[in-house]
Amino acid sequence: MGQDYYEILEINRNATDADIKKYRRLARKFHPASNKEPGSYEKFRQLGEALDVLSDRKKATYDKFGEDGLKGGIPIEFSKDGAWSTKYAYHDNPEKTFKEFFGSDNPFSENKIKDDPIERYLYLSLDDLYHGCTKKIKISRKVMNNDGCTSSIRDKILTVTVKPGWKEGTRITFPEEGDQGPNNIAADIVFIVQQKPHPVFERIDNDLIYHAQVSLEMALTGFSVEVETLDGRLINIPFNEIVPLYKKVVPKEGMPLPHDPSQKGDLIFTFDIHFPEKLSAESKLLIKQALHY
């Protein structure tokens, strides 16, 4: 069983680059200049190796093949996606890793260390993401006073300009807007877009899905659906085919494309067919006669 580099850094396998940099806290804790406990140096060495692997393209090989594949080498054909293919060996100099990361080999250095990013969700409606909008967010943070030692709590308004077509998961970063301190560089504040549910449409990538509720009669004989689009237009879509057999695609009536808002995805109709709970004998006979072919 190989080493679990994620466990060593106390992060999960979905960790971002910012999560991987949590190495800073553990490395300072176990640095031999600040921790003389038995086993601390080995922990310090493991942290250096874990950072060396997970902050590099070696990570792709480790994620797929584990430590054995990473250190034993993998066939060259598996490296086409940029994964590390040669046999890996840590240089066993965790002090070097520490110095490269911190810019100093002194864990008590007065060099300011930047705090980890502060992440917050930004909940937006589908209409916000369709049209684009401006959101003003009030934050409170510590700001250093002129004496350079004390701080005060001050409010600030951050403005997010939402672009048409943004998707869930879009990240908006405000550099160094976190708490200030005498021995740290303020953290970045990162807002992560989360889409609120919409009462009419479901979004899949750049497409909008409309779930039409139709009766069995409508499904077999045809009907039309009037839909109000997100930009306020009423469009009438006729359905003349037997609807359980297909999805109806209306081109360019979906979401704006983030890289080119003048282009749009599609509007896709799916159908929920409502069958009658019961039929009279006469109705059954008529249906049989109508469907006999």
- Residue 289 maps to a domain: no
> In terms of pLDDT, which residue wins out, 77 or 36?
36
DSSP state of 245: G
Q: Are residues 125 and 90 in the same domain?
A: no
- Residue 287 maps to a domain: no
Q: Say whether 201 sits in a helix, a strand or coil.
A: strand
pLDDT category, 264, cuts 50, 70, 90?
very high
Residue ending a domain, among 77, 102, 127, is 102
What confidence score (pLDDT) does residue 262 get? 92
Residue ending a domain, among 68, 102, 136, is 102
- Residue 293 maps to a domain: no
What confidence score (pLDDT) does residue 110 get? 58
CA-CA distances (angstroms) from residue 258 to 35, 109, 170, 200, 293? 50, 44, 10, 22, 50
Residue of 156, 265, 150 whose CA lies nearest to 206:
265
Residue 220, pLDDT above cutoff 70: yes
Q: Are residues 62 and 88 in the same domain?
A: yes
Q: Express the helix, strand and coil content of the chain in percent, nearest 5 each.
A: 30, 30, 40
What confidence score (pLDDT) does residue 42 get? 95
7 vs 117: CA distance, rounded Å = 20
Q: Are residues 86 and 132 in the same domain?
A: no
DSSP state of 186: P
Q: Are residues 163 and 84 in the same domain?
A: no
Q: Are residues 137 and 85 in the same domain?
A: no
The average pLDDT across 233-260 equals: 89
Which residues constitute the domain of residue 190?
113-195
Q: Are residues 216 and 186 in the same domain?
A: no
Average pLDDT, the chain: 87
3-state SS string for 10-64: CCCCCCCHHHHCCHHHHHHHHCCCCCCCCCHHHHHHHHHHHHHHHCCCHHHHHHH
- The CATH number of the domain holding residue 34 is 1.10.287.110
Q: Are residues 122 and 89 in the same domain?
A: no
Q: What's this model's pTM, rounded to 2 decimal places?
A: 0.61
Residue 158, pLDDT above cutoff 90: yes
Q: How many CB atoms lie within 10 A of CB 143?
A: 13
Q: Are residues 13 and 98 in the same domain?
A: yes
38 vs 153: CA distance, rounded Å = 42
Residue-wise pLDDT for 104-157, tens only, equals 777 766 566 678 899 999 999 999 999 999 999 999 999 988 776 788 999 999
pLDDT category, 75, cuts 50, 70, 90?
low
227 vs 210: CA distance, rounded Å = 9
pLDDT category, 174, cuts 50, 70, 90?
very high
- Residue 282 maps to a domain: no
Residue 99, pLDDT above cutoff 80: yes
Q: Are strands 223-228 and 234-239 parallel, antiparallel or unpaired?
A: antiparallel
Residue ending a domain, among 102, 137, 162, is 102
- Residue 54 maps to a domain: yes
Q: Are residues 9 and 70 in the same domain?
A: yes
Q: What percent of the chain stands above pLDDT 70?
A: 92
What confidence score (pLDDT) does residue 77 get? 59
- Residue 130 maps to a domain: yes
The average pLDDT across 89-110 equals: 81
- The CATH number of the domain holding residue 123 is 2.60.260.20
3-state SS string for 111-180: CCEECCCEEEEEEECHHHHHHCEEEEEEEEEEEECCCCCCEEEEEEEEEEEECCCCCCCCEEEECCCCCC
Q: Are residues 40 and 120 in the same domain?
A: no
pLDDT category, 3, cuts 50, 70, 90?
confident
Residue 192, pLDDT above cutoff 60: yes
| Residue pair 242/224 in contact by the 8 Å Cβ criterion | no
Structurally, the chain folds into a number of domains equal to: 3
- Residue 73 maps to a domain: yes
Residue-wise pLDDT for 10-31, tens only, equals 999 888 887 888 888 898 889 9
Q: Are residues 205 and 219 in the same domain?
A: yes
Q: Are residues 191 and 207 in the same domain?
A: no
Q: Which amino acid is at 89?
A: A
What confidence score (pLDDT) does residue 102 get? 76
pLDDT category, 202, cuts 50, 70, 90?
very high
User: CA angle at residue 25 from 23 to 26, to 5 degrees?
Assistant: 65
- Residue 281 maps to a domain: no
